[in-house]
């Protein structure tokens, strides 16, 4: 129970720091950053074998945030884990920053793969897993896909590849927040039941509440105990979760806002953080 409380606190810390960096900038990919906060808390707070003092450690587990526009949430997580000072979060997407709008492994300590060209993260994640296997490493690679991103054919080519080569050290997630840049996913390109679709491609698949750290941790544990196939965990999420301004705006893929507009959402996130600490 203490570990799960720590994960809930960590999630709220990530949410607060992400909102702070976006508020300072005044615009950004707020919706898709908010919807992966709990996942990042579980990955970096419990599951991933990492060393912030040695970001390129060969035996580390790796994250491919294929929906690279969620970079602000990843940066907040990395800063909280000590990869770089939290003060750098306020340089997000500004000249000379180490924190570009989308994840870049050449700029940011702790970023394992450059992403943002949607669909390509599936291929690079498969390559990382296969490379670790060839080198005799037992590392896991965690891959995060957007539900809108799954419109890309490259995702499904990679899905077939991962199944063909039984990449069971690949644990992937679809952030099923039901929105993409231009609107609702069901209106842009309806992919149907994600669980049925991934199972049809031969993946070990389940669907859970993507904002429940206990459910996320349990699903990852079950995936690690299942061998012989890649794993897909479909996260049922709300785009903009935990930020009222984003939750009440449709679509909320990328938003511009004033300090006054975002202030109530930040204050509520800080309140929830204090509540989590006292629980």
Task: Encode pLDDT of 42-61 as tens digits.
Answer: 999 999 999 999 999 999 99
- Res. 4 pLDDT band, cuts 50 70 90: confident
The C-alpha atoms of residue 12 and residue 7 are separated, in whole angstroms, by 9
Mean pLDDT confidence for 236-248: 95
Domain extents for the chain?
Answer: 2-278
pLDDT at residue 94, as a whole number: 93
Token pair, residue 259, equals 């300090």
Q: Which residues, other chains included, contact 246 with Cβ-Cβ below 8 Å and sequence gap of 6+?
A: 30, 31, 34, 239, 240, 252, 255, 265
Sequence length of the chain is 279
Neighbours of 27 (CB within 10 A): 13
Dist CA 6 CA 213 (whole Å):
10
How far apart CA 279 and CA 258 sit, in angstroms, is: 32
CA atoms within 13 A on the CB side of 27: 6
Q: Is-cis flag, bond preceding 251, omega within 30?
A: yes
pTM of the prediction? Answer: 0.96
Strands (E), the chain: 27-28, 62-65, 141-146, 170-176, 179-180, 183-184, 204-209, 231-236, 255-256
Cβ atoms within 10 Å, residue 106: 8
In order of 75, 116, 181, the CA distances from 187 in angstroms are: 31, 22, 12
- Contacting residues for 278 by C-beta, under 8 A, at least 6 apart: none
Statement: residue 80 has pLDDT above 60: yes
Query: What is the helix (H) or strand (E) element at residue 274, kind and residue range?
Result: helix 259-278
Contact (Cβ atoms closer than 8 angstroms) between residue 188 and residue 148: yes
What's the CATH fold of domain 2-278?
Answer: Rossmann fold (3.40.50)
| pLDDT average, residue stretch 201-220 | 98
Give the whole-number percent of the chain exceeding pLDDT 70.
99
DSSP annotation of 168: T
pLDDT digits (tens, 9 = 90+) for 155-205: 999 999 999 999 999 999 999 999 998 899 999 999 999 999 999 999 999
Checking if the pLDDT of 215 tops 70, the result is yes
């Amino acid at each position: 129970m203490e570990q799960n409380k720590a994960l809930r606190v960590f999630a709220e810390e990530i949410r607060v720091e992400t909102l702070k960096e976006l508020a300072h900038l005044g615009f950004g990919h707020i919706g898709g950053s908010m919807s992966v906060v709990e996942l990042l808390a579980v990955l970096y707070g419990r599951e991933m074998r990492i060393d912030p003092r040695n970001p390129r450690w060969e035996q580390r587990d790796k994250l491919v945030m294929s929906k690279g526009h969620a970079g602000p949430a990843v940066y907040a997580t990395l800063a909280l884990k000590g990869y770089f000072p939290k003060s750098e979060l306020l340089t997000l997407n500004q000249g000379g920053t180490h924190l570009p709008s989308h994840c870049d492994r050449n700029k940011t300590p702790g970023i394992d793969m450059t992403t943002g060209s949607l669909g390509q993260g599936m291929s690079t994640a498969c390559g990382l897993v296969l490379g670790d296997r060839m080198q005799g490493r037992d590392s896991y690679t965690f891959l995060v896909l957007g539900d809108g991103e799954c419109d890309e054919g490259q995702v499904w080519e990679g899905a077939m590849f991962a199944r063909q080569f039984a990449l069971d050290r690949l644990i992937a997630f679809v952030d099923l927040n039901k929105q993409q840049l231009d609107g609702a996913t069901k209106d842009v390109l309806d992919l149907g039941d994600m669980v049925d679709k991934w199972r049809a491609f031969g993946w070990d698949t389940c669907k859970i509440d993507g904002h429940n750290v206990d459910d996320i941790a349990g699903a990852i544990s079950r995936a690690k105990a299942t061998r012989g196939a890649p794993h897909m965990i479909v996260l049922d999420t709300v785009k903009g979760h935990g930020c009222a301004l984003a939750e009440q705006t449709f679509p909320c893929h990328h938003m511009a806002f004033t300090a006054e507009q975002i202030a109530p959402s930040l204050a509520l996130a800080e309140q929830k953080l204090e509540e989590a600490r006292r629980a």
